[in-house]
Amino acid sequence: DTGVSQDPRHKITKRGQNVTFRCDPISEHNRLYWYRQTLGQGPEFLTYFQNEAQLEKSRLLSDRFSAERPKGSFSTLEIQRTEQGDSAMYLCASSLGGSGGHYNEQFFGPGTRLTVL
């Protein structure tokens, strides 16, 4: 169990550029979540996958944000036409999935810190 990994750890980009972040969940976990955290706040849920199906995306911040999990393993989060307000930490989490108990416990990756200049 190597934990949740995210890449890159830091990204600096200019306003208007597109960026893509990758998340590799814990290997046996079938649920994957993306969150955004701004300074001084708790993480804010963005979207959620069960295997390759994106079951919740209404909380994505705008249509510039999209996420995929094509083979039910790793996931990518893309932000198009970045704005300075997109600067934040983007966190990925995974859980086993299933009903009840520790199947719902979420484990987080180290995050990708995005700075938009």
Partner 1 sequence: GIQVEQSPPDLILQEGANSTLRCNFSDSVNNLQWFHQNPWGQLINLFYIPSGTKQNGRLSATTVATERYSLLYISSSQTTDSGVYFCAVKEGNDMRFGAGTRLTVKP
What's the rounded Cα separation, in Å, for the pair 8 and 76? 11
> Helix, strand or coil for residue 31?
strand
Interface pick for partner 1 out of 26, 45, 73, 87 (rule CB under 8 A): 45
Interface pick for partner 1 out of 33, 67, 69, 79 (rule CB under 8 A): 33
In the complex, the smallest distance separating the C-beta of residue 64 from partner 1, rounded to whole angstroms, is 20
Could you say whether residue 1 binds partner 1 (CB under 8 A)?
no
Could you say whether residue 53 binds partner 1 (CB under 8 A)?
no
Give me Rg for the CA atoms of the chain: 14
- Strand (E) positions, 1-117? 5-7, 10-13, 19-24, 31-37, 44-50, 53-56, 65-68, 75-79, 88-95, 107-108, 112-116
End-to-end Cα, the chain, rounded Å: 36
Interface pick for partner 1 out of 7, 13, 22, 59 (rule CB under 8 A): 59
Could you say whether residue 87 binds partner 1 (CB under 8 A)?
no
Could you say whether residue 22 binds partner 1 (CB under 8 A)?
no
Q: Which residues bind partner 1 (CB under 8 A)?
A: 33, 35, 37, 40-45, 48, 55-56, 59, 89, 91, 93, 100, 102, 104-108, 110-111, 113
